[in-house]
Chain A
Amino acid sequence: MSEMWPAGYVPVLLARISRPDSPAIDGYLADGGYASWKKVLAGIATGEWTPSKVTDLVKASGLRGRGGAGFPCGLKWTFVPPKEKRGNKPVYLLCNADESEPGTFKDRVLIEKDPHQILEGMMLASFALGVRHAYLYIRGEMVHGAEVLNAAVDEAYAKGLLGKNVQGSGLDLDLTIHRGGGAYICGEETALIESLEGKRGHPRIKPPFPAVSGVWASPTVVNNVETLCCVKHILDRGPDWFRTYGRNEKNTGPKLFCISGHVERPGVYEAPMGIPFLELLALAGGVKGGRKLKAVIPGGSSAPMLTAEEVQSMPLDFDGVAAAKSMLGSAAIIVMDETTDIPKAVANISKFYAHESCGQCTPCREGTPWLNKMLKRVVNGQGKRQDLDLLVQVASQMGNGMTICVFSDAAIAPVLSGIAKFRPEFEACLAKAASPDFALTAPSDVTEKVAGRMAEGIHS
């Protein structure tokens, strides 16, 4: 098996995944695991380790959340109100393992292959935040992952790394694995919280943000699986080491990328933050069959689609992808080659969003199926002249504050970017349509090209 990282690169997050029996605690301990946790616990009494020291290290590392938004992790932790303000309310840590963004499968590898890495990250974050009970919410479909995590939690309790008075430090910490019901929207942090509380996964109105009022109206920090793994490595090796990865101070650390689509070797790759897209593509064996690259979705299906030209010199980090007017999101890179039918791809993605909208907000509940119905018609050759403009207009009235959460913004990104960047392909679909609506339209309304294709379509 070829390596899943660049030549000469020493993997951090994926370091242990190919060891035999990597999920077991003995191997993890033998590899130096839980050293940081033990070090911190031992330093509590002497005052060597304090919560703010851990938070400061995470802040200094420049770690940004790996769940999608890239929010600075240490800064988020400081939003938890201090004891004087929150009174007797507990603080919760909630690890987001609901990974369901199409194209994303990095957390699953960590969960199934190296669960103790996650747990240690959670323990350290719990210490930093004053958490006494941490939760990990895992996507319902990941049955195996949940089993692995539960076994790992049992092992950690058995080894005295969790529970009452951990390692004689005087600190109590419990950790619970909670299985979701399998809904994409439950990955949105406030829906995650509702679902954890046993309610329907409906995103909440923000503010208040979870850091102020989250699980059971108590301050809650939600972090992605990979983010918390990074915390463990920052405590192991220090923020300076962490910052050696990356293009600049704002985009640091080792990063997992999920490459799928038309590449020779799809999979989870680890590389320094900021690796140029083309390098990563080469690492994955290049475009399948040596064909030409057509489009890339750089951060999961919610990220606007980019053309081959736009990704030529794009570094894969938060700001690099943002500069190309898309987003790194969950670093799920979907590669589409020249054979890809973009309208079909967009229609396919829109089906996902129509299926996964939680249904609270009118524009999202009604808009996502509407977009999907229109796109299906367009790709099935039943489009009408006005459909493209209508698609854009409808999508444009679903985002930008029209809804409670940004799911709706995510749902329209592929539609708007797809039509903006590959409009001729959509127009070709319409041209194929022999619908009377289309045939009757005056050529002045459509381009000459489409008019020509229209005639072809009618006669063929």
Chain B
Amino acid sequence: MAKVTVDGNVVEVPNDANALEACRAAGVDVPHFCYHPRFTIVGQCRMCMVEIDGMPKVQASCTVPIRDGMVIRATSEKALAARNATMEFLLINHPLDCPICDQAGECQLQDNAVAGGLPVSRTSEPRRLTPGYDRTEIGPHVIADMTRCIHCTRCIRFCSEIAGTGELSLIERGGHAIVWTHEGRILDNEWSACTADVCPVGALTTKEFRFRKRVWWLDKTSSICPGCEIGCNVSLEHRDQVVHRFLPRVNPEVNDFWLCDHGRFLAESLNGRDFLKPLVPNGTLPSAPGGAGRRETNWGEALGLVHEKLKAAQAGSIVALGSANLSTEENWLLAELFGKTVGSPNVEFEADQGPLRRIPNRKAVGADGGFVKGTVAAPNAKGAEAAGVRKADGASALGKILAGSLVPDVLYVSDAAFSARTADPAFAAKLRKAKFLVVHARVENPLTDVADVVLPVSGMTGKDGSFVNVQGRVQRFDAAFVPPPIVRTDLEVLLHLGRLFGSFETRWTAAHVFGKLAAAVPAYQGLTWEEPAVTGLPPSSSPAAAYDVLRPPRTSVDDTDKLPALAGKA
């Protein structure tokens, strides 16, 4: 550690910090654009200019390694004049299209201009245009608008240093320089939309979010990406009960600053909702396919019917399927109810093997070749197992049902989309062989088409809970908004059903259940619902400055480096 003085305050910073980091540690917000904690220092934007004693000229603070005893003057007249100069230079050509720019509201250039820019413009020259390089798709997700580019090269460095794919480069020189893909290539890597995150301005935006919502209307909820077992921390951003996007929520131990495109663009898939009321059979069982033989009802009748069928059935002939998409709390309730109360030996789950997903992270536990990797296409396979739900295989009940050697009295599916196979009518038909088929569902699929009872549930947006990711890390997600009336969370459905058996109380919350689970499952010992290791870091205000969440205000780097101990225990 070294002691550095910033504007008269002494802070202790690690020896490998630079002067910009020292200023930030001292709570002095020195604006900057090209600096990013994960990219090489290029010192190009010349925004973070400060004065340093002993150096006659102003310095780009990110380029100056600190040394013990260094005295930095971050708000001296000379430093401020230098920064004003850079802002002026950036603004003479930047278009004044904030009203139609998606970045407005989370634009670092706009923020800096508002915070410290000059009130007037001294230029009367025509602004630079970039014909042919505007509003152009440069890949499957990213749209480039080069009139807005401030040449910070973050996007280029993301592709070359983090993704390792190097699709982007500066072409041309000086004021004509633009960022574009190399000839004959497109920006298409597993994390291409991260370039839009790191872009401080609206030069790179995603096709999916473009023109969807002014960002200041968005509410941000801490969540976990449902795309795979890595469990990237996301900020689920929504308005009026509609999810608009995922942004990465920084977690140096998991996804760091990144998200893969696959997971990021699952966000809007959380919006569909086909069921608003429970459905029960209209007449005789089994119901006719296509839902023709069902009618809407209330929860009392629906759960009453399920309760009745369960009581009437042979415990050994009851099969309950948990899900790697449901929270650990829900899987645990399912295991408690069906395993312990009902006494069925068949509480199991199946999770899809998916394509390999990777998140660049060199330091994380379990990182392999610079990546945290996930092969299970659901977020909570480890949690389901930890909750006591066993993995299905050929010899288990699910395997037997599929082989046709078991026709259960009751098949209770807690997640109608527990596997991609549920999209296959032939697969659904095999499960339909059960004498009584109950599913929790948010959207229609071949399995809901043939179920006897459909219990309408909220999906992730309406509930809180926790997952266990591929590293064994317990991670919480929060409810974004209240689901429509009548629709319940999976947890509530299980609690209400459990109450009919006298096992659960309906006033329990996910936090409650987490506490019970933590008391019951040894791996969870000592873990609490509220602790930072479980909640992760809060969403940041702007994706380009996401690392701000790593820095509590007005403290030393010493403290900021000690992130909440995020080591999971399960």
- Residues of A participating in the B interface, judged by any CB pair closer than 8 Å: 183, 185, 200, 205, 354-370, 373-374, 377, 384, 390, 393-394, 397-398, 400-404
For chain B residues 166-181, which have a beta carbon within 8 Å of chain A?
A: 169-170, 172-177
Name the A residues within 8 Å of B63 (CB-CB): 205
| A contact residues around B174 at 8 Å (CB) | 354-359, 364-365, 368-369
Interchain residue pairs A-B with the least CB separation, the first 3: A401-B57, A397-B85, A357-B174
Task: Name which of B37-45, B131-139, B397-405, B435-443 contacts chain A.
Answer: B37-45
- A205 CA to B126 CA, complexed, in Å: 32
Q: Provide the bound-state CA to CA distance between A358 and B177, in Å.
A: 8
- Write out the residue numbers on chain B whose beta carbons fall within 8 Å of the beta carbon of A354: 174-175
Q: Give A364 to B42 CA distance when docked, in angstroms.
A: 15
Q: Which residues of B contact A183 (CB under 8 A)?
A: 173
CB pair B58 A400 closer than 8 Å = yes
Query: In the complex, are the beta carbons of A370 and B92 less than 8 A apart?
Result: yes
Within 8 A of A (CB), among B115-130: 122-126, 128
Which residue of chain B has the shortest Cβ distance to A359 in the bound complex?
B177
A384 and B151 form a contact (CB under 8 A): no
Q: Is the CB of A367 within 8 A of B58?
A: no
Q: How far is the CA of A183 from the CA of B173 in the complex (A)?
A: 9
The answer to whether residues A363 and B175 also contact, given A370-B123, A400-B57 and a CB cut-off of 8 A, is no
Chain B residues whose CB sits within 8 angstroms of the CB of A403 once the complex forms: 46
A357 pairs with B43, CB closer than 8 A? no
**In whole angstroms, how far apart are the Cα atoms of A394 and B86 in the complex?**
11
* Complex A-B: 10 CB contacts under 8 Å: A356-B174, A359-B170, A359-B172, A362-B151, A365-B89, A374-B125, A397-B81, A401-B59, A402-B49, A402-B85
Determine if B46 and A362 form an interchain contact, defined as CB atoms under 8 angstroms apart: yes
In the complex, A397 Cα to B78 Cα: how many Å?
Answer: 11
Alpha-carbon separation in the docked complex, A15 to B175 (Å):
44
Q: Is A360 a contact partner of B44 (Cβ separation < 8 A)?
A: yes
Q: How far is the CA of A60 from the CA of B421 in the complex (A)?
A: 83
Least distance between B271 CB and chain A CB atoms (Å): 41
Indicate if the CB atoms of B86 and A365 lie closer than 8 Å: no
The residues of A that contact B44 with a CB separation of less than 8 Å are: 360-362, 404
Residue B177 contacts which of A356, A365, A398 (CB distance < 8 angstroms)? A365
CB contacts (< 8 Å) of A398 on chain B: these are 85
Chain B residues, CB < 8 A from A359: 151, 170, 172-177
Whole-angstrom distance from the CB of A51 to the nearest CB of chain B? 32
Instruction: Pick the residue among A358, A360, A363, A368 that contacts B86 (CB under 8 A).
Output: A363
Are B93 and A366 neighbours in the complex by a CB distance under 8 Å?
A: yes
B82 within 8 A of A: yes
A366 touches which one: B49, B59, B89, B126 (CB < 8 A)?
B89
Q: Which residue of B lies closest to A185 (CB)?
A: B173
State A271–B47 Cα separation when bound (angstroms): 46
With A359-B170, A400-B58, A404-B44 given, name 16 new contacts (CB 8 A): A200-B170, A356-B174, A357-B174, A361-B45, A362-B44, A362-B47, A363-B86, A364-B174, A366-B92, A366-B175, A370-B123, A373-B125, A393-B122, A401-B59, A402-B46, A404-B60
Which of A359, A362, A370, A394: most chain B CB closer than 10 A?
A362
The one of A205, A361, A365, A402 in contact with B82, judged by C-beta atoms closer than 8 angstroms, is A402
Any A CB within 8 A of the CB of B90: yes
The residue from B43, B47, B125, B176 contacting A205, defined by CB atoms under 8 A apart = B43
Say whether B150 faces chain A, with CB atoms less than 8 Å apart.
yes
CA distance A361 to B34 in the complex (A): 10
Contact B90 A370 (CB under 8 A): no
Residue from B49, B88, B124, B173 within 8 A of A357 (CB atoms): B173
Q: How far is the CA of A44 from the CA of B503 in the complex (A)?
A: 95
B124 to chain A, nearest CB (A): 7
B124 CB contacts on chain A under 8 angstroms: 384
Query: Are B173 and A356 in contact, CB atoms less than 8 angstroms apart?
Result: yes
Do B170 and A365 touch (CB < 8 A)? Answer: no
CA distance A369 to B151 in the complex (A): 15
The distance in angstroms between the C-alpha atoms of A368 and B174, with both chains bound, is: 9
Bound state CA distance, A297 and B56, in angstroms? Answer: 27
Within 8 A of A (CB), among B86-117: 86, 88-90, 92-93
CA distance A205 to B170 in the complex (A): 18
Residues of chain B within 8 A (CB-CB) of A365 are: 89, 151, 174-175, 177
Q: Is the CB of A205 within 8 A of B57?
A: no
Which residues from 323 to 374 on chain B have a C-beta closer than 8 Å to any C-beta of chain A?
none
Whole-angstrom distance between the Cβ of B59 and the nearest chain A Cβ: 6
Instruction: Contacts A366-B93, A397-B82 given; indicate if A361 touches B175 (C-beta within 8 A).
Output: no
CA distance A363 to B175 in the complex (A): 10
User: Which chain B positions have C-beta within 8 A of A205?
Assistant: 41-43, 63
With a cutoff of 8 Å between Cβ atoms, the chain A residues found around residue B150 in the complex are: 362
With A and B bound together, what is the CA distance between A132 and B89 in angstroms? 45
Instruction: Tell me which residues across on chain A come within 8 A of B176, comparing CB atoms.
Output: 359
Residues in A neighbouring B56, C-beta threshold 8 A: 401
Q: Shortest CB–CB separation between residue A393 and chain B, in angstroms?
A: 8
B118 to chain A, nearest CB (A): 12
Q: When chains A and B are docked, how far (Å) is the Cα of A355 from the Cα of B172?
A: 10
Given A366-B90, A401-B57, CB of A358 within 8 Å of CB of B173 = yes
Q: Evaluate whether A357 and B47 lie within 8 angstroms (CB atoms) in the complex, with A363-B86, A400-B58, A401-B57 already known.
A: no
Whole-angstrom CA separation of A390 from B120 in the bound complex:
14
Are A401 and B43 in contact, CB atoms less than 8 angstroms apart? no
Chain B residues with Cβ under 8 A from A362's Cβ? 44-47, 86, 89-90, 150-151
Name the distance in Å between A387's Cβ and chain B's nearest Cβ. Answer: 9
Instruction: Report chain A residues within 8 Å CB of B175.
Output: 354, 357, 359, 365-366, 368-369
Complex CA–CA separation, A392 to B151 (angstroms) = 25
What per-residue 1/0 map shows which CB atoms of B161-205 lie under 8 Å from chain A?
000000001101111110000000000000000000000000000
From A389, which residue of chain B is reached at the shortest CB distance? B122
Best-surrounded residue of A185, A361, A364, A373 (most CB of chain B within 10 A) = A361
Q: Nearest Cβ distance between residue B63 and chain A, in whole angstroms? A: 5
B residues less than 8 Å from A364 (CB atoms): 174
Chain B residues with CB under 8 A of A360? 42, 44, 151
Query: Complex: how many Å from CA A393 to CA B172?
Result: 28
Which residues of chain A have C-beta atoms less than 8 A from B170's C-beta?
200, 359
A390 to B170: give the CA distance in the assembly, Å. 30
Q: How far is the CB of A197 from chain B (nearest CB, A)?
A: 14
- In the complex, the chain A residue whose C-beta lies closest to that of B122 is A390
> How far, in whole Å, are A356 and B41 apart by their CA atoms in the complex?
23
A356 to B172: give the CA distance in the assembly, Å: 10
Bound CA span A448–B170, Å? 49
B205 to chain A, nearest CB (A): 22
Contact B45–A402 (Cβ < 8 Å): no
- A195 CB, min distance to chain B CBs, angstroms: 12
Residue of B nearest to A384 (CB): B124
Q: Which of A185, A374, A393, A401 interacts with B58 by CB under 8 Å? A: A401
* Set of chain A residues within 8 Å of B46, measured between Cβ atoms: 361-363, 402-403
Question: Which B residues touch A400, using CB under 8 A?
Answer: 57-58
Residues facing A in B42-91 (CB within 8 A) are 42-47, 49, 56-60, 63, 81-82, 85-86, 88-90
| Cα-based distance from A357 to B46 in the complex (angstroms) | 15
What are the residues of chain B within 8 A of A361 when measuring CB–CB? 44-46
Q: How far is the CA of A356 from the CA of B176 in the complex (A)?
A: 10
Q: When chains A and B are docked, how far (Å) is the Cα of A338 from the Cα of B193?
A: 60
Closest Cβ of chain A to B146, distance in Å, is 13
Q: How far is the CA of A359 from the CA of B146 in the complex (A)?
A: 14
A363-B177 contact given A205-B43, A401-B58, CB 8 Å threshold: no
Collect the chain B residues with CB atoms within 8 Å of residue A358's CB.
173-174
Please give the distance in Å from A206's CB to the nearest CB on chain B.
9
How far apart sit A356 and B174, CA to CA, in the bound complex (Å)?
7
Q: Nearest Cβ in chain A — how far from B92, in angstroms?
A: 6
Complex Cα–Cα for A369 and B45 (A): 17
The complex places the Cα of A401 from the Cα of B46 at a distance, in Å, of 9
Report chain A residues within 8 Å CB of B57. 400-401
Residues of A near B122 (CB, < 8 A) are 390, 393-394
> Which residue of the partner chain B has the closest CB to A363?
B89
How far in angstroms is the closest Cβ of chain A from B233?
Answer: 33
- Shortest Cβ distance from A203 into chain B, in angstroms? 10
